[in-house]
Amino acid sequence: MVLENERIIITNIILVNKKDQEIGQKEKMQSHIDGDLHRALSIQLYNSNGDLLIHKRASSKYHCGGLWTNTCCSHPFPGELTIDAAKRRLYEELGYKQVDLAEKFVFQYKASFENGLTENEIDHVFVGHTDLNPPEIDQKEIEDYEWMSIDELKNDMQNSHSKYTVWFKEIMKYLHS
pTM of this structure: 0.91
- State the catalytic residue, choosing from 92, 93, 119, 121: 121
Which CATH number is 102's domain given? 3.90.79.10
Name every residue whose Cβ is closer than 8 Å to that of residue 30 and which is 6 or more positions away in sequence. Answer: none
Please tell me the predicted confidence (pLDDT) of residue 46. Answer: 97
Length, in residues, of the chain: 177
Cβ density class 39-56: b for 16+ within 10 Å, e for less: bbbbbbbbeeeebbbbbb
Please tell me the predicted confidence (pLDDT) of residue 8. Answer: 52
Closest residue by Cα to residue 90 from 139, 128, 122: 128
Residue-by-residue pLDDT tens, the chain, 177 positions: 444 445 455 589 999 999 999 999 999 999 999 999 999 999 999 999 999 999 999 998 888 889 999 999 999 999 999 999 999 999 999 999 989 999 999 999 999 998 899 999 999 999 999 998 789 999 999 999 999 999 999 999 999 999 999 999 999 999 998
Give the residues across from 7 on adjacent strands.
4
Question: Is residue 142 within 8 Å of 60, Cβ to Cβ?
Answer: no
- State the catalytic residue, choosing from 64, 72, 73, 141: 73
Please tell me the predicted confidence (pLDDT) of residue 11. Answer: 83
Q: Mark whether 73 is an active-site residue.
A: yes
pLDDT in tens, 77-100: 999 999 999 999 999 999 999 899
Q: Mark whether 93 is an active-site residue.
A: no
Please tell me the predicted confidence (pLDDT) of residue 10. Answer: 54
- Where residue 8 falls (left for φ over 0; alpha for ψ -120 to 50; beta otherwise) is beta
Per the structure, the count of domains in the chain is 1
Cβ density class 73-100: b for 16+ within 10 Å, e for less: bbbbbbebebeebbbbbbbbbbebeebe
Q: What is the β-pairing status of strands 52-57 and 142-148?
A: antiparallel
How far is C-alpha 163 from the chain's CA centre? 16
Domain hosting 68: range is 2-176
- Where residue 5 falls (left for φ over 0; alpha for ψ -120 to 50; beta otherwise) is left
